Amino acid sequence: MKNPPHSSPSLRWDIFCSVIDNHGDLGVCWRLCADLAQRGHTVRLWVDDASALAWMAPQGCAGVSVHAWPSDETLHALAQDARCQVGDVVVEAFGCELPHACQALMARATPPVWINLEYLSAESYVARSHGLASPVMSGPARGLTKWFFFPGFTANTGGLLREPNLAERHTAFDRTAWLSALPLDKPLAAKERLISLFCYEPTALPDLLKQLSQADAPTRLLVAQGRPSAAVASATQALHMASSGTGQLHISQLPYLRQTDFDHLLWACDLNFVRGEDSLVRALWAGQPFVWHIYPQDDLAHHDKLLALMEALDMPAELRNFHAVWNGLTTGPLPALSRTVIDDWRRWHRQAQQGLQAQTDLTSRLLSFVAQKR
């Protein structure tokens, strides 16, 4: 389904991102920047660590320029230049605090629309908080207003990122050709079940590997680089299993993938293990069943966030049980990943996907919101 067209004029955007997790915060911000640029807007991305873009988006995107997080000295120098202008819209992603000198630049002329783009959640507070004003009471931006913009899963939130051409890209995807081009240690077999793994360090990972090695059909586990690869290495060592797997399981390490190729990975696999925010949304659009590893928090607040997602998407009981064990909400063995179970999850997923695709995407909602505030 196509996203609705938007008739807003071309705007200049400044998007600020302070990297906590290269694959998450920066990934979401880059997708938003690229989506805005492809709709005719000009975007400057200010980021304190852009290193992951070298593999995440190596070709860049026309209309998007990437800049180092500005120091106060740099901003003070810019403030002396009358030609220096803040964008029409300033986005403070995920609660990163703008430098005071930047706030001073925002206050010296026509104030931009100042957006605080929050983290994605299905919890009830999202709808209550979305779109609320936050008057700035102190500092160089005193008197300005920032606006909370919450991504979400319902019509009364900020929605989910979804590019206008995503459905066309998916339809044109050549699964066989893409898989054949992957630099794998061993060619894929025709009857192998394909599972992607992008996770943190789930305690149930050894259980998953053991289950797959003893399954009644061969499985190829495609493991993402970074923490997933390290977690698998630790788990295979604990199981006294070869790093490439054993029995019915063969483990292949993937290279770092561009965002577009990460989408292709999710489209190509029979089941996807994903983590964080960006890959969760991409898994929702992929049309294949998924298991989400939520970012663990010391105060266990992530448990409520996971339960809210299960409820919002009306997950079937078996999939809820799997999520609970995978994320440490409950103990015990992982439910069996039989082909029948995965097929049942796929049918559920496509129903959930259709409902979400019927909603307006995040960028279109953001453009409408900004137009109301200008």
Catalytic positions are: 25, 277
| DSSP per residue, 41-87 | -EEEEEES--TTHHHHSTT--TTEEEEEPPPHHHHHHHHT-TT----
CB 40 within 8 A of CB 70: no
Closest CA to 63 of 95, 91, 39, 84: 39
Chain-centroid distance, C-alpha 311: 20
The residues, ordered by sequence, that sit 6+ positions from 132 with a Cβ below 8 Å of its Cβ are 147, 148
3-class secondary structure, 283:
helix
3-class secondary structure, 12:
strand
CA distances from 128 to 134, 156, 371 (A): 14, 9, 21
Report d(CA 326, CA 369) in Å as an integer.
37
CB 259 within 8 A of CB 33: no
CB 176 within 8 A of CB 267: no
Residue type present at position 235: A
- Using the Cα atoms of residue 137, residue 140, residue 144 and residue 146 in order, give the sign of their dihedral: negative
* Neighbouring-strand partners of residue 148: 116
Which stretches within 254-333 are classed as H helix? 259-268, 278-286, 301-312, 317-326
Report d(CA 268, CA 173) in Å as an integer.
9
Please report where in the chains the tokens 């803040």 appear, as a residue.
86
Report d(CA 203, CA 44) in Å as an integer.
40
CB 106 within 8 A of CB 141: yes
